[in-house]
Structure 1
Amino acid sequence: MNKKKEKLAIIGVSLVLGLILSVQFKTINETVGNGVLPTQRAQELANEVAKLKSEKDLLTKQLEELENKVEQYEKEGISHDTYAENLYKDAMKYRMLAGYTDVHGPGIILEINDPPIDPQISDSYGIVDELDLLLQVISILNAADAEAISINDQRYTSFTEIVRAGNHIEINGVSTGAPIVIKAIGDPDTLESALNIKWGIVWQLRNYDYVVNLTQNQDIKIERYRKAKEFIYAKPVEEE
């Protein structure tokens, strides 16, 4: 019964988080959409956003506490049961593969900053304008056996969308922009070599005047993918 209550609580907190984000987006969109943003209204909007962010942070903390309790219940339920323990390990492995659990380990950190602004050139550009370069980085890391990847702390999974929206990028539905910080867990030497190969992606970025910093790190933390995915059309194939 306790497990059921905890899971229902997690669902409830997740729904409230989604509602807060929707209200925040609607408020900003309606205000900015008018084309005029008086100083007083701007201050009110800033205060409202700060309040919503505070509420979101509190709910996120509560959600993490509930998830930790559920995980504790799961561990207690498998004690002294080898079969259940093996099932739990398999479940954790698939959660990691799907990106639904926090992970940490050795890997690389790639930071990409926009080119320095040249006052003599009217047409400036940035990484927001060249998503193909970001996608190349992700493809190369996957080819180099990266076990987990994040972009500006957004976990990259098979469901992740990376799209341009105005003057920023949407990743997992979250707005972000330069600098772009890509973290990848895997063999640090292999990942670094794959990115640093002659005429490779790091060379391309620097050739386009992007400021690139690539380093190895022995303990990178990558947070889980937090959007819920419901399968409506896809169903498992029944074995005959």
Structure 2
Amino acid sequence: MKKPHYNSKFTRKQFIVLIVCISTGFIIGYSYKLTKDEVKVNTSYLEQEESYREELISQQERNKELTEELTALQTKRREYEKNFAENEEDYGHLLEEAENLRLLLGEIPAHGEGIRVTLKDGEYNPNSTNPNEYIVHESHVFSVINELKVSGAEAISINGQRLKSNSYIRCNGPVITIDGNQYPAPFIIEAVGDVDTLIPALKLVGGVFDQLLNDRIVVTIEESDFIQMPTINDE
């Protein structure tokens, strides 16, 4: 039996072709993989870039909204400042008026220059059958207090007790009752206020001072550089 005969040249040629095909396939496959990876990377970069772009646009829009909001608030603040500047004088006047009202009501302490008016019973007159003709009555006390209030006294006290706007005052012989508290004579009325206004008001011709003297009341009026009174709640 004859053995088959192989052509060695043909076999080498096929082998070379096979190697070439394998190498070419490997190169094509590797190139394809590189291309695919590159496309994937590029796609990832594009997606990330798009995400950054959208985020940037969103931030720009938000910045625009905040800028508009800031502008509106600044405009409103300028309006408040303008209104406050225009009304500052009125506000100051209202605050001063409120403070004066609290002072008159006795809600805050009072101190400053002022006067001290002392009322004493007149000397005993044995020829008089009526002792009421020379003792201090509530009408005398009220006349002094009313004149002081009209003249702008900031605060008034009698024998150390500060008067309220509705204080009850009554004289019983040598004793005066103020809001239920009794004080003996002499009656010392103190007032915080402008001395140059209070004293002339009391000493007007035919005024309170002259009327008290006509009623035989002993009256003394003194200036004081400093008079201090507590609030009506501290007494």
Match in the other structure for 1:143 = 150
Q: CA deviation at 1:179?
A: 0.7
Q: CA deviation at 1:147?
A: 0.5
- Contact 1:196/1:203 (8 A) holds in 2: yes
Cα distance change, pair 167–191 in 1 and its aligned pair in 2 (3 A):
closer
Distance 1:200 1:137 in 2: 10
Which has the higher mean CA deviation after the structures are superposed, 103-112 or 89-98?
Answer: 89-98
Which has the higher mean CA deviation after the structures are superposed, 185-194 or 171-180?
Answer: 171-180
Paired amino acid for 1:169: I
Q: TM (normalized to structure 2)?
A: 0.53
Match in the other structure for 2:185 = 178
Q: Does 1:206 align with 2:213?
A: yes
- Contact 1:172/1:227 (8 A) holds in 2: no
Q: Within 5 Å, which residues of 2 pair with 1:1-240? A: 95-125=102-132, 126-128=134-136, 130-165=137-172, 168-226=175-233
Structure 1 portions without partners, runs of 5+: 1-85, 229-240
Structure 2 portions without partners, runs of 5+: 1-91
Q: Secondary structure at the match of 1:157?
A: coil
Paired amino acid for 1:172: D
Q: TM (normalized to structure 1)?
A: 0.52
Distance 1:209 1:166 in 2: 15
Cα distance change, pair 168–198 in 1 and its aligned pair in 2 (3 A):
same
Q: CA deviation at 1:135?
A: 1.1
Distance 2:97 2:200 in 1: 32
Q: Could you say which structure has the higher helix fraction?
A: 2
Distance 2:143 2:228 in 1: 22
Distance 1:159 1:133 in 2: 18
Identity of aligned residues (%): 34
**CA deviation vs aligned residue, 1:87-126 (integer Å, no higher than 9, x gap):** xx99876643321333210011100110011234343235
Match in the other structure for 2:20 = none
Indicate the RMSD between aligned Cα atoms, in angstroms: 2.8
Cα distance change, pair 92–142 in 1 and its aligned pair in 2 (3 A):
closer
Match in the other structure for 2:46 = none
- Contact 2:176/2:185 (8 A) holds in 1: no
Distance 2:128 2:164 in 1: 38
Distance 2:98 2:207 in 1: 37
